[in-house]
Structures are given as C-alpha cells and as structure tokens.
Homo-oligomer: A and B are copies of this chain.
Amino acid sequence: MFARYNKVQQAVLETTLRLIIDKELQATSMSLIAKESKVSTGNIYHYFSSKEDIINELYKAIVQFNGEYVTKNWSDADPVRVRFERAWENVIRLGMEYPQGFQFIEQYSFSPYIYEASKLEAYKGGWCGPLEAVYREAIAAGLFKPGLEPRLMVQMHYGSFVYLLKAHLQQYLELNEETIRSAISSSWNAFGTDKAVMT
C-alpha cells in the first residue's frame, strides 16, 4: 500500500492509519505515533514536515492505491455490462480487504484537514472518470435510460456500495458472494432499460 516510501515512512504511515481508524484523528498524537511505530518524534519530523503532512501523504497514497485497485481486471474492450460489474465488484472487494484505507477516505475526503492540492492530485488517479465513461456508453447503447447525468448515477451507486460496506464493517449485516452479485445486479436495474434486463 505504501510501496513507494522508505521503511521509516511506511512504519509511520501504517501506524498512523491504524491509530486514526481505531482512535480518531484528535486522539492520535505524535507521541503515540512515535511510540507505536517505533520511530522517535525527532525522526518523524526528519521525514515529514508536520502532522498534517503525514495525513496528507496518507490520503494521497491510499487514493492512488484505491484508484488502481478499482480499475483492475477490466478494459475498454469488455462489454459495458462486464465493465460495470467488475468495477463495482472491485469497489466492494477493496472495502473488504482494505477496510482501514476505505474508512479513512470515507471519513476524511471532505475534511478541511486535507489540502485542496491533495484532493486535486487524488482526482487524477481516481476512478470516477473512467466509470462515468462506462455509464455514458451504456446510455448511448440504449442499455441505460437517458435523463439523468452519468455523474449523478455513478455517485448514487457508489453511495449504495459504500453503505453496504459500512454496514458490513459494522457487523450490521453479512456480505457473501451471492449477496454481492445480487446487489450489483440490482444496481444495474435501477437505470437499466427493458432491453438491458437479463437477470
């Protein structure tokens, strides 16, 4: 997840992520990060310019990782429906395999603590653009109803899966393969035309 950083930076970033998810940002002090990562405070400041800097590096690293994960296993050559399913499957799998990173982005993507510059940099590595294109294509092919903006559709579907994951991570409900397939298929139906329904 933090492959492009050195050992010390990795230790700090991993520890910070864990602490923030477990205990919340305000309860995550530099001295605690130092103790748990086994890197002295002085040395942390050798590699990061401030606490804010750590959080922002964390943000950028996770967003990039997530972006790569979600756009895996599918390409423009695949049929629209396949791309749709793979992408959302990836989103769910990402949330289940890397819950801390997922929760971190969920909690802090609108936080003033994250610099606008980090958010901008994040957007470039994101997957919203590619997915929007898939939806646009689905509309053009008559598989999705026209009328709503692709951007809005993606936003709604993303929200669905985020909340599914939240409920799962909170042990509020269970997610098995069958349920995931079913949820993705239902999502398709929300915007799908008769032509597109084949479930």
* Residues on B with beta carbons closer than 8 Å to the beta carbon of A161: 156, 159
Tell me the residues in window 150-183 of chain A with beta carbons closer than 8 Å to chain B beta carbons. 151-152, 155-164, 166-167, 170, 172-173, 179, 182-183
Q: Which of A59-67, A76-84, A104-112 lies on the face that meets chain B?
A: A104-112
Q: So how many copies of this chain end up in the complex?
A: 2
Q: Mark A178-199, 1 if CB is under 8 A from B, else 0.
A: 0100110011011110000000
* Residues on B with beta carbons closer than 8 Å to the beta carbon of A186: 145, 148, 156, 190-191
Residues of A in contact (CB 8 Å), total 40
* Residues on B with beta carbons closer than 8 Å to the beta carbon of A192: 189
- A148 to B111 CA separation, bound complex (whole angstroms): 34
Q: Which residue in chain B gives the minimum CB-CB distance to A151?
A: B173
